[in-house]
Amino acid sequence: MARQNRIAYILFGLLVVVAAIFASQILNGEPALDGEGCPVHRNYPTQAAVLLDPSDPLNTPQSFVARRIVGAVDRNAPAMTEVKTFSVAQAGRQDTIPHHRMCKPVHFDSIPPIRRWTVNRRMMEEAYDKYQETFRQSLSGVLQQPGDTVSPILEAIQTSVLSAFPPRDAETPRWLVVVSDMAQNSDCWTVYGNPANTSFLDLSRRPCFRSLRVNLSNVRVTIYQLARRGRTGRIQRRNLRQFWDDYFLDMGADTPNWVDVEG
């Protein structure tokens, strides 16, 4: 009889533990979200800024770069990552308002099996599909804007970083994604000199550069470089990547991860 009582007590204890786990999962649930699908408490696991340069039209192969970026965020960013998109033309003129803001939702497959019975799989999958399509359309919309006569990439990096990565969240991992041919062309600095000037040392000595500095420590950088033809293509094949590697290292970031977007 005593043995049966011990077994009953053990089973009862296990049931209490399991019930507590389920209750905890249900009570904790997912964080409350704002109208853009982001947690209202604004504690993001990662913040991402996507800077897009539509200064020249994309050819057909390059038009798929938006899908590549959505896929990269899917693979490399945790759920509830805050994503803001900017254009070089907009940010280069110190417009700090992003074209779009959203947060990557939780995917059903990432939920532990013990919790899956507490959520609606269909609603979660529909929400995730909607997020992906909205994100892709946002990127494509910016990239399809009319070209511009200037390409103030340095200025745009500063503006988008200051807007997307506020100092109060300094400990939050950050990710800057740039989609551009990286051919800087503004009043402060242009690579279209004669000969082409891709020396970061020369840029760093210019008085205007002091106003363009920005803290990129704790920022991971990925550059999707759009291949160009003609003069810009020749500049790209020289020391352009070294110029930008030196710039990002000087701003406190690691060497960027370069991704070729051929066309």
User: Can you give the three-state secondary structure of the chain, one letter per residue?
Assistant: CHHHHHHHHHHHHHHHHHHHHHHHHHHHCCCCECCCCCECCCCCCCEEEEEECCCCCCCCHHHHHHHHHHHHHHHHCCCCCEEEEEEHHHHCCCCCCCCEEEECCCCHHHCCHHHHHHCCHHHHHHHHHHHHHHHHHHHHHHHCCCCCCCECHHHHHHHHHHHHCCHHHCCCCEEEEEEECCCCECCCCECCCCCCCCCHHHHHCCHHHHHHCCCCCCEEEEEEEECCCHHHHHHHCCCHHHHHHHHHHHCCCCCCEEEEECC
Question: Confidence class of residue 8 from pLDDT cuts 50, 70 and 90?
Answer: very low
Residue 249 pLDDT > 90: yes
Task: Write down the architecture of domain 47-261 according to CATH.
Answer: 3-Layer(aba) Sandwich (3.40)
- pLDDT at position 176, please? 98
Higher per-residue pLDDT: 235 or 225: 225
pTM: 0.85
The average pLDDT across 210-238 equals 92
- pLDDT at position 224, please? 97
Residue 22 pLDDT > 50: no
Structure tokens at 9: 């007590």
Distance, CA of 77 to CA of 70 (rounded, Å): 10
- pLDDT at position 108, please? 86
Q: Domain extents for the chain?
A: 1-30, 47-261
Task: State the average pLDDT for the chain.
Answer: 85
CA nearest 132: which of 99, 105, 111?
105
Residue 247 pLDDT > 60: yes
Residue 58 pLDDT > 70: yes
Question: Confidence class of residue 17 from pLDDT cuts 50, 70 and 90?
Answer: very low
Structure tokens at 198: 């891709």
Q: Is 86 left (phi over 0), alpha (psi -120 to 50) or beta?
A: beta
pLDDT-wise least confident of 40-44, 97-101, 137-141 = 40-44
- pLDDT at position 16, please? 40
Residue 2 pLDDT > 90: no
User: Is residue 182 classed exposed, middle or buried when 0-12, 13-18 and 19+ CB atoms within 10 A define those classes?
Assistant: buried
Question: Confidence class of residue 14 from pLDDT cuts 50, 70 and 90?
Answer: very low
CA nearest 226: which of 58, 89, 49, 50?
58
The average pLDDT across 141-161 equals 88
- Give the tens place of pLDDT for each residue, 189-218: 999 986 778 889 999 999 999 999 999 999
